[in-house]
Amino acid sequence: MDHRLMLCVFFNDLYVNGRTVFEGRELLLLLQIGIGGIRGEMGPPSKGVRAISQEAFDDLVKENMEDLGMDPAEALQDAIDTLTLQGVDLSGLVMCAPGEGGAKDNPVIQCLERLKQLDCDCNDGMNKGVNEELVQFLDKLTQLATETNSGNAAIATKNGGVELLCSVCSKIPKDCVLALVTSWKALVPLLQDTQSQELFKKCGGPKVVMQILDQSQNFDILDGGFTLIAAAATGNEILKESFMELKVDELVMRILSEKSILRTQSLYDAIRVLLTADDNRVVASQVYSYARTFAKVGIAGALVDLLHEGLSSPMLVSASIALKFIAVNDEICKYIAENGGIDALLLCIDHSGEQGNRTAARACCSLLSKVAGSDSNKNAIVEKGGMDRLIKLSARFSDDPSVLQEVMAIISVLCLRSSENAARAMEAGAGDLSLQAMQKFPAAQQMQKSACLMIRNLVVRNSENRTLLLANGIEKCVRKAKQNHQSCKDAATDALRDLRLDNYNS
């Protein structure tokens, strides 16, 4: 589409309620915006979203004052309202009334300007003075960018913050640990959307980060680096692929196999993010393949070893969550079991109940539910007293629906396609658990859904269980869940059907 047709479409969009939003005096400004002002300042805007340059926005405010005689505050608000009406993305703009300071007076812009000078100074080497001032201004940028509801992160991104920080990172010597870690800390809050993340990729950010991490044995550098990887890859399939191409799996395995002192919380967060299909632009994510790669290089085994450390390990919960994302197929689930994963998890479940550790209980139950997806593992869990141990855990946390829902989720998996396991579950007390939990926590939607799913698997192949549950009044609980929670509707309907109730769909 040529510029004339684009502008015709643009002006047509500005015709609202029988009149034009802008008068003729503003056509020149609109021409500037239409051709050069409404655009992505640091890259192409998201599809279907208009952006506007700082200069064009400031000119609009100025003309409101000069041509319409508006006072500064009114001129600013009119510009904001008008552009918002047209669907223009105003994020990253410094919006202040004339006379109250302009973009150049904004602390984020001032901080970036000084960092640009220091970035140039780094070309001649990093002396003590440059290093100290660099840390000072990077800290200041981090504070500004993380201020709640300030919009400062977007301002920094729109004004070249991502590119600048990538440049700074690439020039900091590896022995300047504080400067390097501080630069990564400043970059993390700027990677808040797809556009900023892909600017990071375009600037070679993933390669720079991986090269530094590959050569480092420093805890702070590793922690900061994996925090940055997690931020960059969240919701972005392209960045996940970039890090996989740079062999992030081998780096993770090296750290897990070397020294426990180098294991950081961010390492496990990065595993989880890299293996989460959270980019809604992609129809078929590659994370399933990445999970198999992680398992193949030995990460699954390393995480199972960590499970054996039990609740004494501060990383137990993080490792359990990470391993859950790796356990994507029957082969990996069997591998976890063959290496003592089931024994370790059941022991952790016992200890979490004894110590009142709800967080560990939830994480270990969630992972055990995933491992139980393998039919051979189902029987192993039951044979090791899994049913009784789970019911015992539920008794210890009878006041916590988040733990109860995880317990019921495992029992549901264990009873799937197994009448025998369903009978063992009822003997252990699964029927009483479902009835008591549904009565005690009627507002806990996810727990109610887990209960309905468990009830279905308890009765679908076991008529004795069906008779017992109906006699205990489970129908009323299931119908109440169906009526009160939309998210429970399908699960409750299936449970009522498999309870052999004629009006299950009503």
> Taking the model in full, what pTM does it have?
0.84
User: Would residue 226 be called left, alpha or beta, if left means φ above 0 and alpha means ψ between -120 and 50 degrees?
Assistant: alpha
Find the distance separating the first CA and the last CA of the chain, reported in whole Å. Answer: 55
For tokens 């499970």, the residue is: 307
Mean pLDDT of the chain, nearest integer:
89
How much is the average pLDDT of 463-469?
A: 96
How much is the average pLDDT of 234-263?
A: 91
pLDDT in tens, 316-325: 999 999 999 9
How much is the average pLDDT of 79-85?
A: 88
Instruction: Report the C-alpha gap between 234 and 271 in whole angstroms.
Output: 11
Q: Does residue 495 surpass a pLDDT of 80?
A: yes
How much is the average pLDDT of 76-103?
A: 84
| Residues 172 and 126: beta-carbon distance below 8 Å | yes
Give the pLDDT confidence score for residue 48 in this predicted structure.
54
Give the pLDDT confidence score for residue 8 in this predicted structure.
39
Instruction: Report the C-alpha gap between 464 and 451 in whole angstroms.
Output: 18
Give the pLDDT confidence score for residue 30 in this predicted structure.
47
pLDDT in tens, 405-436: 999 999 999 999 999 999 999 999 999 999 99
DSSP designation for 49 = -
**Structure-block tokens of residue 207:** 């390669």
Alpha carbon 445 to its chain's center: 22
In the chain, domain spans? 3-104, 421-506
Instruction: Report the C-alpha gap between 255 and 361 in whole angstroms.
Output: 26
The answer to which of 212-226, 253-267, 318-332 has the lowest mean pLDDT is: 253-267
Q: What are the backbone dihedrals phi and psi of residue 53, each rounded to the nearest 5 degrees, phi first?
A: -75, 160
Give the pLDDT confidence score for residue 260 in this predicted structure.
66
Give the pLDDT confidence score for residue 128 in this predicted structure.
86
| Residues 377 and 333: beta-carbon distance below 8 Å | yes
Q: Strand 88-89 relative to strand 50-51: parallel, antiparallel, unpaired? A: parallel
How much is the average pLDDT of 110-120?
A: 95
In the chain, the amino acid numbered 279 is D
For tokens 């496990």, the residue is: 268
Give the pLDDT confidence score for residue 174 in this predicted structure.
83
Give the pLDDT confidence score for residue 45 in this predicted structure.
45
Nearest-Å Rg of the Cα atoms of the chain is 29
Give the pLDDT confidence score for residue 36 in this predicted structure.
41
The answer to which of 131-140, 171-180, 198-207, 419-428 has the lowest mean pLDDT is: 171-180
Give the pLDDT confidence score for residue 258 in this predicted structure.
81
How much is the average pLDDT of 108-137?
A: 91
SS3 state of residue 258:
helix
Q: Does residue 19 surpass a pLDDT of 80?
A: no
Q: Does residue 335 surpass a pLDDT of 60?
A: yes
How much is the average pLDDT of 231-243?
A: 97
| Residues 225 and 213: beta-carbon distance below 8 Å | yes
pLDDT band at 55 (very low <50, low <70, confident <90, very high): confident
Q: Does residue 4 surpass a pLDDT of 70?
A: no
Give the pLDDT confidence score for residue 262 in this predicted structure.
65
- Look at the chain and count its residues: 506
In the chain, what is the greatest distance between 2 CA atoms, to the nearest angstrom? 84
Instruction: Report the C-alpha gap between 63 and 341 in whole angstroms.
Output: 69
Give the pLDDT confidence score for residue 49 in this predicted structure.
65
pLDDT band at 71 (very low <50, low <70, confident <90, very high): confident
Q: What are the backbone dihedrals phi and psi of residue 441, each rounded to the nearest 5 degrees, phi first?
A: -125, 65
How many C-alpha atoms does 199 have within 13 Å on its Cβ side?
A: 28
The DSSP-derived string for 276-329 is ----TT-SS-SHHHHHHHHHHTTHHHHHHHHHTTGGGSTTHHHHHHHHHHH--S
Instruction: Report the C-alpha gap between 365 and 363 in whole angstroms.
Output: 6
pLDDT in tens, 368-404: 999 999 999 999 999 999 999 999 999 999 999 999 9
Q: Does residue 354 surpass a pLDDT of 50?
A: yes
How much is the average pLDDT of 171-176?
A: 89
DSSP designation for 154 = H
**Structure-block tokens of residue 119:** 């970035």
For tokens 């356990």, the residue is: 327
Instruction: Report the C-alpha gap between 114 and 494 in whole angstroms.
Output: 63
